Amino acid sequence: MKDLRVKIFADGADVKGMVEMYAKPFIKGFTTNPTLMRKAGVADYRAFAREVVSKIPDRPISFEVFSDDFSEMERQAKEIASWGSNVNVKIPVTNTHGEPAYALVKRLAHAGIKLNVTAVFTLEQVRDVVAALDPKTPAYVSVFAGRIADTGRDPMPLMAAAHALVHVHPHAELIWASPRELLNVFHAEAVGCDIITVTNDVLAKLSNVGKDLAQFSLETVKMFHDDAVKAGFSL
C-alpha cells in the first residue's frame, strides 16, 4: 500500500474506529456523512465533530451540512468550517429538489472555506462544480464511483474524464467515493484519483493484498468445514 499514489481517507462516524484508523500512517484523512453518523448513533452533531477534531487535529476531516435550504446550508457551512483548520465542509451538489448548489459553492469557496462537494455523479456536475470553485482555495470533488457502478455502468472512463476536469483547478482534488470493494483502491489509482474514501469493513481486507490464492482457497475450505461442524449439521 505504501507504493500507492492515491490517498486513502477512512469513511465512517464511529469515533473509536476513526481513532484506530488515525493510528495508521497510510490513512491520510477522514470523511463522514449524516447517514454514517445516524448508523453510528450520533445524537449531538456539534459534540461529535468537536470530539473527532480534538482527537484527529492534523489530518483532513470532512463534515457535511444537513439543511435543504441554501441560506441555512451557508450558515451551517460557516460554523462547520470554524471547528478546525483541518476541516472541509461537505456541500451536496444539489438540494433534495434537484436545485444546483453552484452559487453557494462559489460564495463559500471565494470566502476561503475549504469544501468537499459531494454526491456528484455526472461529468456536467463535475464541470460546473469546478467552475464555481475559487482557484486559491483548496477543495475536494467527490464523485460517487461506487454508486455509478451500482447502475451497471463502468465508472473507470467517467472517473478518468472527471480527473481531467478537476485538475484544471490548481488546488482541487478528485475523490473516488463510495467504493464497493478493495479492488476499487487500485481502480482509483489507475485513473489518477487523488483520494479514495474507504469504510473500515473494506479497509479490514487490506491484509489480503497480494495473498497467495491457493492458500486463500484452503482457508476458505477450512472456513466452510469449521462452520458446518459448529452448526452441528448431519445428513
Share of the chain above pLDDT 70, in %: 99
Residue 60 in this model has a pLDDT that exceeds 80: yes
- Could you tell me which residues are beta bridge partners of residue 10? 30, 198
In 3-state terms, what secondary structure has residue 13?
Answer: coil
* Chain segment 95-110, per-residue pLDDT in tens: 999 999 999 999 999 9
CB atoms within 10 A of CB 93: 23
Find the length of the chain.
235
Per-residue confidence (pLDDT) for residue 3, from 0 to 100? 82
Contact 35, 68 (CB under 8 A): no
For the chain, what is the domain count?
1
In 3-state terms, what secondary structure has residue 97?
Answer: coil
Computed over every residue of the chain, the mean pLDDT equals 97
Residue 219, in any domain of the structure: no
The residue from 2, 90, 106, 230 that is catalytic is 90
Instruction: Tell me the C-alpha distance between 179 and 159, whole Å.
Output: 13
* Chain segment 3-56, per-residue pLDDT in tens: 899 999 999 999 999 999 999 999 999 999 999 999 999 999 999 999 999 999
Mean pLDDT of all residues in 184-206: 95
Residue 79, in any domain of the structure: yes
Element (H, E) at 27: strand 27-31
Instruction: Tell me the C-alpha distance between 104 and 110, whole Å.
Output: 10
Sign of CA dihedral 227, 228, 229, 230: positive
Instruction: Tell me the C-alpha distance between 13 and 30, whole Å.
Output: 9
Residue 226, in any domain of the structure: no
Residue 120 in this model has a pLDDT that exceeds 80: yes
Residue 150, in any domain of the structure: yes
Share of the chain above pLDDT 90, in %: 96
Residue 73, in any domain of the structure: yes
What single letter denotes the amino acid at residue 105? Answer: V
Residue 1 in this model has a pLDDT that exceeds 90: no
Residue 235, in any domain of the structure: no
Joined together, the cell numbers standing for residue 38 give: 445516524
Residues 6+ apart with CB under 8 A from 119: 92, 93, 94, 142, 144
Instruction: Tell me the C-alpha distance between 70 and 95, whole Å.
Output: 8
* Chain segment 147-171, per-residue pLDDT in tens: 999 999 999 999 999 999 999 999 9
Residue 223, in any domain of the structure: no
Instruction: Tell me the C-alpha distance between 189 and 196, whole Å.
Output: 9
Q: Is 184 exposed, middle or buried (0-12, 13-18, 19+ CB in 10 A)?
A: buried
Instruction: Tell me the C-alpha distance between 106 and 203, whole Å.
Output: 34
Burial 47-72 (b: 16+ CB within 10 A, else e): ebbeebbeebeeebbbbbbeeeebee
More confident residue, 32 or 207: 32
- Could you tell me which residues are beta bridge partners of residue 88? 62
Residue 213, in any domain of the structure: no
What is the residue range of 106's domain? 7-205
CATH number for the domain including 146? 3.20.20.70
What single letter denotes the amino acid at residue 48? Answer: F
* Residue 90 annotated in active site: yes
